[in-house]
Amino acid sequence: MSSRVPLSTKEDLSIAYTPGVAEVCRAIAADETLAAEYTWTSNLVAVVTDGTAVLGLGDIGPKASLPVMEGKAALFRAFAGVNSVPICLDTTDPDEIVETVTRLAPSFGGINLEDISAPRCFEIERRLESTLDIPVFHDDQHGTAIVTLAALRNAVRVTDRKLGDLRVVVMGAGAAGVAISRALHAAGVGEIVVCDSRGIIHSGREHLNPVKEELATITNPSGLRGDIATALRGAQVLIGVSGGSIDESALEGMADDAIIFALANPTPEVAPEVAHRYASIVATGRSDHPNQINNVLAFPGIFRGALDARATHITEAMKLAAADAIADCVGADLAPGKIVPSPLDPKVSIAVAEAVKAAWEARK
């Protein structure tokens, strides 16, 4: 942090600190909404983790997770001019995490939850959203879902399809898989089938946790049962967010001209060279292959737009608007190997921020 005003004389000090700041304190005490105007909260996000689900590394703890949170802070600043502070909590208890973040919240304009394992991440986000009057956004869920939806919108354009005509198989029912399934449902995808390590999720399956029980109510309308190969028969789209692997034989039952997003990183569920044997469009989570599904396309602009709009939460309409904005940034370059813009394209965060802000303002 550096001062935007000089601090070289006694008069400077009297304005920047005591007694000058007392006037600002009095103003905010009389009207708390002025905090966003007179303090850094209007441009400051907390990046909060407990280190339990870091990248592909898993539960490595809060200290080892700090480099990822610092990297996230660098991306916030570079791509959207948003300041952020990494906060790595030495607890995995949802009650303690919610209490700690709630107590810290007055210093921030938004909360970015990061790398918290499922299913605890769903409860933590839900409770914070209901408690706080600033945006709360779990990027592993919603950032991944938004960019995936943007990529799918463009993929169906390339293959001359419609979202409503698709059967999409999502492999993985963790944070990303659940959020992607919900986003696809909200966007009007025709049929969604979700598989976890035990096979297809359906309403009659035993031992489903509450999140998967809810997921079963909005997916698999045909009541399919069985493994991933069964789910993929006739499917036009496969989205992998499991960290596992899919045998090539399971891909043989997919529809012609298929779409495969194998997003596990660093090792995709299906190797790109194998995926191309069955799909006309292939995306991964890796930067060394075309069509990288990268959350940096979403989260900087989403927070920029939410902060600029003084939003109190992130709505579903804001998420869908962000996905549309990302998809539209590809423009005339749209092709099988170009269904998402480059993460380094400076126009993306601007477009996403404008779309998110407009979606918030349109709700009134």
Is 115 annotated to bind a ligand? Reply is yes
Active site residue 38: no
The widest CA-to-CA distance across the chain, in whole angstroms, is: 77
Q: How far apart are CA 87 and CA 237, in angstroms?
A: 37
Residue among 10, 38, 63, 72 flagged as catalytic: 72
- Residue among 49, 39, 129 at smallest CA distance from 89: 49
Structure-token match 């007392």, residue found: 22
Evaluate the CA torsion angle 143, 144, 145, 150 in order and state its sign: positive
Active site residue 17: yes
Q: How far apart are CA 227 and CA 265, in angstroms?
A: 23
Report whether the peptide linkage leading into residue 266 is cis, meaning its omega lies within 30 degrees of zero. yes
Is 95 annotated to bind a ligand? Reply is no
Task: Give every strand in the sheet of 44-49, ordered side by side.
Answer: 83-88, 44-49, 110-113, 136-138
CB atoms within 10 A of CB 104: 15
Is 265 annotated to bind a ligand? Reply is yes
User: 78 by DSSP, 3-state: which?
Assistant: helix
Residue among 17, 63, 162, 347 flagged as catalytic: 17
Residues tagged in the binding site annotation: 114-115, 140, 265, 294
Which positions make up the binding site for (S)-malate? 265, 294
Binding positions for a divalent metal cation: 114-115, 140
- Mind telling me the catalytic residues? 17, 72
